[in-house]
Amino acid sequence: MAVSLKVNIGGLEMQNPVTTCSGTFGFGPEYAPFMDLNRLGAITVKGTTLEPRPGNAPPRLVETPAGILNSVGLENPGVDSLITTTMPYLRNFQVPVIVNIAGNSLEDYQELAARLEGVPGISALEVNISCPNVKKGGMAFGTDPCAAQDVISGVKKNTSLPVIAKLSPNVTDIVAMAQAAQAGGADALSLINTLLGMAIDIEQRKPILANIMGGLSGPAVKPVAVRMIWQVSQAVSLPIIGMGGITNWQDAVEMILAGATGVAVGTVNFINPRAAIEIIQGIEGYLEQHGYQDVNEIVGLAWKRQQG
């Protein structure tokens, strides 16, 4: 009997638990030559703002021993381009589309939600209140529980779509942030965005990134992500999309066992564009090997077993 990989992320039905991390998969067409996009659980597109953004000045990427630092700064063509160019293309596929939205102000988020309401093909909104690479908005909302609650509440008022709050790990108490998002009406959570970091060129004796600091992603952050998923999944009732350093199916299973209902594949896309497909296959194989019939059986199983 084939195992079931279907999951429900706060009202978003997915054929399997694997989506892509915003900012690592473009808007979808960039990866179509390497995989059948229909096989994904969902596509999460690059962060979208009201107006086009050029992003930060280069250099804005630095390779680290176990990941990368980036300070891209939400470069994107704006919401009008998403509606008129990206979505008509993505509607050719039978896969849910999650649109990641970012703004400088509460009003920006509200207007984005309103503009995207009713656009065919969009299945959910991921609210980015955690980007460390912009001077306004982003992480400023994601490190203040009251501000986070206000943003999520404002978005909810302007959309009928499931709302996923993408939280920052750059906080002292991730549970308090998750509870604030839940109080604002979030339907699900994404954990985690990048960790704030920096690198210095010792020959030039100055920061490598033009933006000085950037977001650390890749395998180095995975233990932080697993820990936060573990904590949050026991404290709130919202389903979680786990992300942060997933490079193979074993990493994905670890996050599911920690409490994630879904997982998002990010930085590894840059070195293995088929990683998401391989991870879907690996999760299915793991379930078969261990006698599970449904992926939902293992969500949070690591802490559930500890509790007896």
The tens digit of pLDDT for each residue in 56-74 reads 999 999 999 999 999 999 9
DSSP type of residue 136? S
In this predicted structure, the answer to whether residue 132 has a pLDDT above a threshold of 70 is no
Helix, coil or strand: residue 300: coil
Closest CA to 18 of 289, 256, 291: 256
Buried b (16+ CB within 10 A) or exposed e, 144-165: bbebbbbbbbbbbebbebbbbb
Catalytic residue chosen out of the listed positions 131, 151, 226, 255: 131
Binding site listing: 22, 46-47, 70-74, 100, 128, 166, 192-194, 218, 244-245, 266-267
Share of the chain above pLDDT 70, in %: 97
Q: pLDDT-derived band of residue 307, with 50, 70 and 90 as boundaries?
A: confident
* Residues 25, 266: Cα–Cα separation, whole Å: 8
Structure tokens given for 141: 């909302």
* Residues 274, 270: Cα–Cα separation, whole Å: 10
- The mean pLDDT of 278-299, rounded to a whole number, is 98
- The mean pLDDT of 192-218, rounded to a whole number, is 97
Instruction: Clarify whether 146 is annotated catalytic.
Output: no
Binding site listing for FMN: 22, 46-47, 100, 128, 166, 192, 218, 244-245, 266-267
Give the per-residue pLDDT at 214: 96
- Lowest mean pLDDT: which of 66-80, 120-134, 207-221, 288-302? 120-134
Helix, coil or strand: residue 14: strand
Binding site listing for substrate: 46, 70-74, 128, 193-194
- The mean pLDDT of 10-28, rounded to a whole number, is 97
- The mean pLDDT of 67-92, rounded to a whole number, is 97
Give the per-residue pLDDT at 136: 59
Helix, coil or strand: residue 61: strand
Q: Which residue has the higher pLDDT, 133 or 251?
A: 251
